[in-house]
Amino acid sequence: MKTERQKMLDGELYDAWNPELVAAREQARSLCMRINGMEPADPARREALVQLLGAGGDTASVTSPFFCDYGSNIALGERVFFNFNCVVLDVCRVTIGSFTLFGPAVQIYTAMHPLDAALRRQQEYGKPVEIGSDVWVGVGATMLPGVRIGSRAVIGAGSVVSRDVPDAVFAAGNPCRVIRDIGAADPNPATRS
């Protein structure tokens, strides 16, 4: 028999009010509050990030405030950066590759609710989100449950990503769509006159 936690991680209907899950969310919120209240250079802040996140807290750069549901379902590669006010609802796994950058107020959601109201009162479910390496996500962008963003992609500010985005493209809008490929010959805007 699967636990409610295993059902949750597997994307099946589960009881979010299960005592084990409630305790895990409360622990994550306590850690987020502690992290958000500490000085950036405080070594205890790094320890709290390592304790909160499933992987990658040892090299992540997280600008407060930062919020998540569980934390333990978030796996980061090397040197992932979250700017101010990011939210990750990680009822399913959120996997983020190395050197990925998130602008302020980026939201990553894995949580879903049934359309049937009676069922919604008792259960919910989720879909995992996967974000590749070297991705740049602009300010205020939202990643919806079940999406995959390929490595080296750039997501424009305010975009709502509701379907997969391939590698090495610039995608933007609501709904987010591919605007163009990003090539090795793209000019560096910092060198334009």
Annotated catalytic residues are 113
* Residue 87 amino acid letter: V
Cβ 88 vs Cβ 94: under 8 Å:
yes
Integer Cα distance of 109 and 97 in angstroms: 17
How would you classify residue 37: left for phi > 0, otherwise alpha for psi between -120 and 50, otherwise beta?
Answer: alpha
How far apart, in Å, are the Cα atoms of 103 and each of 36, 82, 173?
Answer: 17, 7, 16
SS3 labels along 80-113: CEECCCEEEECCCCEEECCCCEECCCCEEECEEC
